[in-house]
Structure formats: C-alpha cells, structure tokens
Amino acid sequence: MKEEEKVILVNEKDEQIGLMPKLEAHQKAVLHRAFSVFVINHKNELMLQQRAYHKYHSPGLWTNTCCSHQRDGESNIEAGIRRLQEEMGFVTSLKDSISFIYKAPFDNGLTEHEFDHVLIGSYEKDPIINPDEVADWKWMPVEKVKQDILKQPDIYTEWFKIIFKKFYSHITL
C-alpha cells in the first residue's frame, strides 16, 4: 500500500513546523502550505479545470488550472510544475505571484486551511488531462470568469472564489 502523501505544516509566516498526512491535516483544519496555478494564454483567457468527480472534496467543481501541496524540500515553482504535468499533461514556466491564508470548511467535515501560493504561467496549446484528477477543462476570458463566479458561485471551488475576489488584479502575466 502506498504511503499517504504528507503536507507541510506552517505557521502564519509560512515557516515549516512539521509534516502531516494530507487527509489528517484536512480533518484537523491544520494550517499547511499549498499552491494554486493559473495558466493564461495570449488572449487573456484562463485555463480552468473541472475537478474529477471522485475527488474527496470539491468533486466536479470548476477551479484554476491546477492546485496541490508542496512536498517536503520542494519549492513552490517545482511543485507547481510537477502538478501541472501530472494533472494537465504539460509543462510551462511559472512565476510566484501572491500568497495568502484561507480557511474553507466543506460539507464532508474536512477543512482546507492553507497558506496558498499563487503561481502564474503562460501556455497556448490544449492540455492532455489526467482523468484521475480532471473531469474536463476549458479556456475562459479572465473577465468572464469573474462575472460567472458572481452568477454561479456553487460551480466553483472555495479557494478559487477567494483568490478571484481578493486578488483578481494580480491574475495577469
């Protein structure tokens, strides 16, 4: 049996204070490091992904291009590039943008409590999605994403809505 992936526990200054299995961290709502990748094309369209329907939280919801957790000893950029390849089937360079702390409880009793690093990249082609992670994908103009979140908030992940509301002006190349 594969060992459960561990997340990096951090304090409010993003200093590492330990490691914990991912599910346990979400059950206990412990602050841990994460990242959210936003890939934008030359038309200022954001590549969105629809999370796979069998995910243990936020299944079937639309969100940013990919997101996950850094591994012990892995930089934000290294982690973002790794997950982009694993989930969306391509590699592009990423740059660190902003970071923030958020807490979002889910109906299933789990809570995301993350120190989230927003990573921005550029790409023009179609992804080759991993069906274990992603149900669907689409390009959507950034301004339309902002409007659609207001119209249909229930189809988007909590962290994505928080990023868009607070940090819309930073989501550029």
Known catalytic residues are 67, 114
How big is the CA angle at 85 (ends 17 and 69), to the nearest 5 degrees? Answer: 15
* Sequence-ordered list of residues with C-beta below 8 angstroms from that of 49, at least 6 positions apart, any chain: 62, 63, 64, 65, 66, 87, 88, 129, 134, 136, 137
Rounded Cα–Cα distance for residues 112 and 109 (Å): 10
Residue 46 tokens, joined: 């954001």
Say how many C-beta atoms besides its own lie within 10 A of residue 67's C-beta. Answer: 26
Q: Which candidate, 94, 22, 29, places its Cα nearest to that of 65?
A: 94
